[in-house]
Every structure is written in structure tokens, then in C-alpha cells.
């Protein structure tokens, strides 16, 4: 079965420290990878996607096909980065593309 694994339920760092939220996916074809974020009292929203190769709010994510990973990184964490982060991958089956989400990692940035 196609899976997305986020090994850390909680990641706690201090403001200004580097952050890396881990994401590993099961290999199948050439999936698209995504990071979604849910800030407190806000709806879940797309943070960035692999295909865009963009940096959003200082976050970047590099697709490593050899390690089947798509870790989310930020060199200097800010308190407003505290949120729940979900990694997701596309999965093509039955003629349709869908998203498979990981269990999520809660990032807590302390002052």
C-alpha cells in the first residue's frame, strides 16, 4: 500500500533554531509531494508542493528519490511557525490521482 510516514508526532524547537520535519513516502512511480499546514484555529492549507520548487514562509522541501524523502526545512524557526504539518503524496490508480496524507507532525516553536 502506498504510504506517507511522518515519524515525529511532535517537534519542539527554540526560536531561531533550524527545523526539519521528516517525511518519507513509499515508492511508486513519480509521485508529486506536498506539505500542508494547519495553524491554530485556521483551516488546513497548502504550504508548498514539490512541482513548484518554491520557498514559502522560509520553508523549503527537497525531493530525494533515492531516500524517498521530502523533508520540510527552515533555517531559522519563528514562533508563528508553530502549527500542525502534514506531508502528502499523489497516488494514481484507477485513472484518478488522489492524495495520501501522513499522520502529521506538530511543530512547537518556543521563545
Partner 1 sequence: EAGVTQSPTHLIKTRGQQATLRCSPISGHTSVYWYQQALGLGLQFLLWYDEGEERNRGNFPPRFSGRQFPNYSSELNVNALLLGDSALYLCASSFGQVSVGQETQYFGPGTRLLVL
Cβ(35)–Cβ(79) below 8 Å = no
Least separation, in Å, of the C-beta of 111 and partner 1? 25
Least separation, in Å, of the C-beta of 103 and partner 1? 4
User: Is 95 or 111 the residue whose CB approaches partner 1 more closely?
Assistant: 95
Least separation, in Å, of the C-beta of 98 and partner 1? 6
What does the alpha-carbon distance between residue 75 and residue 68 come to, in Å, rounded to a whole number? 22
Pull the grid cell for residue 11: 517537534
Least separation, in Å, of the C-beta of 2 and partner 1? 12
Residue 105 CA to chain centroid, in angstroms? 8
User: Is 67 or 96 the residue whose CB approaches partner 1 more closely?
Assistant: 96
Q: If you compute the radius of gyration of the chain from its CA atoms, what whole number of angstroms results? A: 14
DSSP letter at 69 equals: B
Enumerate binding residues for partner 1 (CB under 8 A): 9, 32, 34, 36, 43-46, 49, 51, 86, 90, 92, 94-104
DSSP letter at 20 equals: E
User: Is 12 or 45 the residue whose CB approaches partner 1 more closely?
Assistant: 45
Amino acid at each position: 500500500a502506498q504510504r506517507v510516514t511522518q515519524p515525529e508526532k511532535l517537534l519542539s524547537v527554540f526560536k531561531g533554531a533550524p527545523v526539519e520535519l521528516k517525511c518519507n513516502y513509499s515508492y511508486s512511480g513519480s509521485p508529486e509531494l506536498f506539505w500542508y499546514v494547519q495553524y491554530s484555529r485556521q483551516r488546513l492549507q497548502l504550504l508548498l508542493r514539490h512541482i513548484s520548487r518554491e520557498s514559502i514562509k522560509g520553508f523549503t522541501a527537497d525531493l530525494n528519490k533515492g531516500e524517498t524523502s521530502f523533508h520540510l526545512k527552515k533555517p531559522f524557526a519563528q514562533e508563528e511557525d508553530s502549527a500542525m504539518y502534514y506531508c502528502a503524496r499523489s497516488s494514481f490508480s484507477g485513472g484518478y490521482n488522489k492524495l495520501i496524507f501522513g499522520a502529521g507532525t506538530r511543530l512547537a516553536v518556543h521563545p
